[in-house]
Amino acid sequence: MALVPRPHFNWQLRTRTLALGERTRIMAIVNLTPDSFSGDGLASGGADAGITAAIAAIDGGADIVDLGAESTRPGAEPLDAFEEQDRLLPVVEGVLRQRPRAILSVDTYHAQTALAVALAGADIVNDVSGLLWDESMAEAIESTQCGLVLTHTRGRSQDWRSQPALAPGEVVPLVLEGLREQLLFAQAAGVAGQSIVVDPGFGFGKLGSENFILLAGLEHLHELGYPLLAGLSRKGFLGEAVRSLQTETLSLADARLTATVAANVAAVLQGAHILRVHDLQPAREAALIADALLAQGTG
């Protein structure tokens, strides 16, 4: 896997522009859910727990904090937009009262929620459906001028475990074609190209080793001409890869930590601009080393 030069972009957000490419940006995950797959859901602690976690991430060096109120683990119960906003809005408002310059992203596929969080001060909408699950989402992005993380997904979470496997040669072309179609849809709805970052959707309808094929071929996504976000943190395929090395003293999340660090380094060396992570400090350190290597190998 060769080192891949990382193109530079200016990502247009709702209230500002974020330079991408000179160094890896870190998006810290704050899950306001009761059933996160990684065991870090904060719903039981209410808004205060979410605010505290988000501020800790900001003060700890995160470039972006991504707030999510609905789990995307296979079999998770869907949340309607009103329940989602009940969890999200107090946290968005509370964080921005204390850290008014913070860049907040909200992980949602509901257009009503996107409108509400933008009004509350969020700058980015992270839509794991890639505008596919709510026909009004593209219009919401266009009207709010939020930055958009456009994710490739293959079906919905309840379908992932039963989907037929892909042949190795199908994985990257399928993701590329899907993202091209989603980008055309976004553009037709008036979403500005400079506001979009693409996410290949590791684990979102990709099974096991298909994710390693996608990671090894991440450089091909530069053909799209957009910045890349890699969301590899604590994903199930990493856990499966290291399962034989796990011990009884390690939790599932802890067992995936080192595997996540390795995957994040690989993503940066393939040209990822943003890492979406649960474990902030290990990700920052990994990105720093990967960036240094990338600078020497492609300079």
3-state secondary structure of 249: coil
Distances (CA, A) of 210 to 45, 56, 158, 200, 255: 36, 34, 18, 12, 21
Sign of CA dihedral 165, 171, 175, 176: negative
DSSP state of 60: T
**Which residue out of 87, 235, 256, 284 is catalytically annotated?**
235
Residues 6+ apart with CB under 8 A from 90: 47, 50, 51
- Amino acid, single-letter form, for residue 162: S
- Amino acid, single-letter form, for residue 120: A
Phi/psi region, residue 281 (left: phi>0; alpha: psi -120 to 50; beta: rest), is alpha
DSSP state of 228: B
Residues 6+ apart with CB under 8 A from 194: 9, 10, 11, 12
235 catalytic residue (yes or no): yes
**Which residue out of 25, 234, 256, 276 is catalytically annotated?**
276
- The residues assigned a catalytic role are 235, 276
